[in-house]
Structure 1
Amino acid sequence: MALDSECFGTAAWSRASWVDEFDRVGVDRLVLVADEGAVVGYVVLLVPPVAEDPVDLTRIAVAPAERRTGIGAQLTTAALAAVPGRTVLLEVAEGNDHARRLYAVQGFVEISRRRGYYPGPQDALILSLEPKAGR
């Protein structure tokens, strides 16, 4: 929760939201954590039980001091490896250039946008990664 608050400020998930996420691990949630003596990053996936339904990458964060060290790429790669053969969707703020570059390297492409969704206003980009051989 502390890392979520540090990374997302007022948009951080509440304690009740985190409890719900962890209660659903093994049902329809997957939470991966980068731990280097303390939690320095995490990714949360919503994994529907029907294989044809897309997986949602609902949250990813890396501690500010650990950014641009490869932790985000490692978390994303591990998350995608955990859902082989599945379409994965995510949403990212148009102005989040670092995250957008990370997702582009992974093969995500923009499929839609929500205009003015984030403060500023800035658009929310909906990205998709379609399954391919070997993933």
Structure 2
Amino acid sequence: MRPRIRLAAPDDLEDLVALDEVCFGSSAWAEPSWQAEFDRLADDRVVLVADEGAAVGYVVLLVPAAAEDPVDLLRIAVAPAERRTGIGGQLMAAALARCAGRTVLLEVAAGNELAAALYRGFGFEEISRRRGYYAGGEDAVIMRWQEDHE
């Protein structure tokens, strides 16, 4: 069964907090951080959820009002048991469809090759690095997507 990709609703808060904790451990966003994302949905946040009766994945976008400003892909996650099933690709495709005509930026840990491969598959290109950005001194790779690179 393919999950339904939909906009997040306030009822998703508990599922997203739990999923984030499973996916990111000590780097997970606390419930107040997730609540802040929901509080800003009407302003500049888009949260998409992959739903199979419960959230099995999500993507969070920061979408500035000015069309010339880039969209930031803040977070994407898929439940460990659902990885390599295409859900991450479905979420990316849905997120990028919402960003038509805009540039999208993201950062990924240099050692997270699975995520980087997903992003490259959608046409993201490395544009810079933040040396030693993550705990343990790992670099952050900054990647950019522009619609004309699809």
Asked whether the two chains share a fold, i.e. TM above 0.5, the reply is: yes
Q: Count the aligned residue pairs.
A: 134
Aligned-pair distance for 1:122? 1.4
Counterparts of 2:33 and 2:41, CA distance in 1: 13
Q: Which residue of 2 aligns with 1:47?
A: 63
TM-score, structure 1 normalization: 0.95
Which SS does the other structure have where 1:37 is aligned?
coil
RMSD: 1.2
Aligned-pair distance for 1:27? 1.2
Residue number among 104, 128, 144 corresponding to 1:112 in the alignment: 128
Aligned-pair distance for 1:117? 1.2
Amino acid at match of 1:49: A
Identity score, percent: 66
Segments of structure 1 that go 5 or more residues without pairing to the other structure are: none
Amino acid at match of 2:99: V
Counterparts of 2:23 and 2:50, CA distance in 1: 15
Segments of structure 2 that go 5 or more residues without pairing to the other structure are: 1-16
Q: Which residue of 2 aligns with 1:22?
A: 38
Q: Which residue of 1 aligns with 2:83?
A: 67
Counterparts of 2:111 and 2:41, CA distance in 1: 31
Q: Which residue of 2 aligns with 1:91?
A: 107
Q: Which residue of 2 aligns with 1:100?
A: 116
Residue number among 28, 31, 42 corresponding to 2:47 in the alignment: 31
Counterparts of 1:37 and 1:50, CA distance in 2: 35
TM-score, structure 2 normalization: 0.86
Counterparts of 1:110 and 1:132, CA distance in 2: 16
Counterparts of 1:79 and 1:130, CA distance in 2: 13
